[in-house]
């Protein structure tokens, strides 16, 4: 009986996963999932600019994703100001600004702006705009949904599955392995000192060793989850050693 339940759960999971559409843009290093039933069109301009236009089955929600590459590294605030300006950007098409806040998409700092707009027949639309950058790449995510639509689970699903992964350079890989080496060295050294100080027991020294071990383990965890904060942890570990 238990095995049948497990098999049913697995098949249910596979059916749900297969119903979702996984879209990618290898040139701009982005990927995201569309819920079941959504349709989309993909337009690009010589590889420098990419646009996805997506609709839910009821045609009550529209998703636009823009990806572009600059010649120089981008600044998030300047990027957001230009994109949402009325003169050079999409400001007029978004509508009247309601709020601005910071959030995170794919672990990347994001500026989120919410607007109100109205269709030609007078129906109100909520426009949720997300702007994020990574190096020379800029991303714009725009949700347009009728204000009277309360079910917005699909929007949250798309946000949670939006991902940006830019390949690291050879130099950054060398730095990464260097940080891993420092963390492993800290673990080995702390372990050796831990054994040495067990006889006779030195409580202060043992506490010190456990402190270094915990820092090293945290550093290794962060190395594989968030490359941007490695430097801080390596400094702490080096000080502990």
Reported as a single tens digit per residue, the pLDDT across 169-217 is 666 667 667 767 776 777 677 666 666 666 666 666 667 767 777 777 7
Reported as a single tens digit per residue, the pLDDT across 61-89 is 999 999 998 889 999 999 999 999 987 77
Same domain, 131 and 116: yes
Same domain, 8 and 127: yes
Same domain, 176 and 131: no
The pLDDT value given to residue 43: 81
Same domain, 131 and 91: yes
Same domain, 100 and 77: yes
Same domain, 15 and 120: yes
- Tell me the pLDDT of the chain averaged across its residues: 77
Buried b (16+ CB within 10 A) or exposed e, 188-223: ebbeebbeebeeeeeeeeeebbeebbebbeebbebb
User: Could you give the residue ranges of the DSSP H alpha helices within the chain?
Assistant: 2-19, 76-83, 91-94, 153-161, 170-196, 203-223, 230-240
Same domain, 160 and 59: yes
Q: Percent of the chain, pLDDT > 70?
A: 66
| Domain end position, chosen among 123, 149, 164 | 164
The pLDDT value given to residue 12: 36
Same domain, 203 and 124: no
Reported as a single tens digit per residue, the pLDDT across 117-158 is 998 889 999 999 999 999 899 999 999 999 999 888 888 889
Same domain, 139 and 183: no
Confidence (pTM): 0.64
Q: Based on the structure, what is the number of domains in the chain?
A: 2
**Host domain of residue 224:** 170-240
């Amino acid at each position: 009986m238990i095995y049948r339940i497990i098999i049913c759960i697995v098949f249910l999971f596979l059916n749900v996963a297969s119903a979702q559409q996984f879209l990618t843009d290898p040139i701009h290093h982005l990927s995201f999932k569309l819920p079941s039933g959504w349709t989309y069109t993909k337009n690009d301009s010589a590889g420098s600019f990419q646009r996805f236009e997506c609709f839910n089955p009821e045609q009550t929600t529209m998703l636009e994703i823009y990806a572009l590459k600059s010649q120089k590294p981008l600044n998030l605030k300047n990027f957001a100001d230009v994109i949402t300006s009325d003169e050079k950007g999409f400001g007029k098409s978004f509508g009247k600004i309601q709020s601005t806040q910071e959030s995170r998409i794919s672990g990347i700092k994001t500026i989120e702006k919410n607007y109100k707009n109205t269709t030609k027949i007078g129906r109100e639309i909520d426009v949720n705009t997300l702007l994020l950058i990574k190096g020379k790449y800029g991303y714009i995510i725009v949700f347009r949904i009728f204000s009277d639509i309360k079910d917005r689970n699909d929007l949250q699903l798309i946000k949670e599955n939006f991902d940006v992964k830019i390949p690291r350079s050879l130099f950054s890989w060398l730095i990464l392995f260097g940080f891993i080496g420092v963390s492993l060295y800290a673990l080995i050294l702390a372990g050796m000192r831990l054994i040495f100080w067990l006889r006779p027991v030195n409580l202060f020294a043992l506490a010190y060793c456990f402190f270094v071990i915990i820092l090293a383990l945290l550093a290794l965890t962060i190395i594989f989850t968030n490359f941007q904060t490695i430097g801080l942890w390596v400094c702490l570990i080096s000080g502990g050693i």
